[in-house]
Structure 1
Amino acid sequence: MDSAALLKKIDQLPRLPKAVSELLEAVNNDKSTIKEISTKVSQDPLMSARVLRLANSSHY
């Protein structure tokens, strides 16, 4: 499939949840603080659970 065909289907992609898009903006902003980022993570229960699972993993 060529890139033009892919671009025609871009509207079919699911949207990111608002909390995820805000978190991405905060992480990519050099002026964001850890407190701001942690607030964004805490707004989404699923994201918080995943971060806690990673933090408690013996692998990391």
Structure 2
Amino acid sequence: MGGTTKYFYYTYALYEIILGNEKYEKYKKGIIITSLLNLIEFHYSLSVKYEENRAKEFL
């Protein structure tokens, strides 16, 4: 893969990568593309599950 492959990270993919899902491991080596909306949704879902400060660590 190298790091030249581009992947669009949707919210669920971001979440699975943070949780350490091995099925998403190969996608960590590429170039990450996502949207502001996905980041907002990701932050919100982490804020619900964890504390606000902990959620900010992932962004």
The answer to whether TM tops 0.5 is no
| Bigger radius of gyration among the two | 1
Taking structure 2 as the reference length, the TM-score comes to 0.31
TM-score when scaled to structure 1?
Answer: 0.30
* Greater fraction of residues in strand: 2
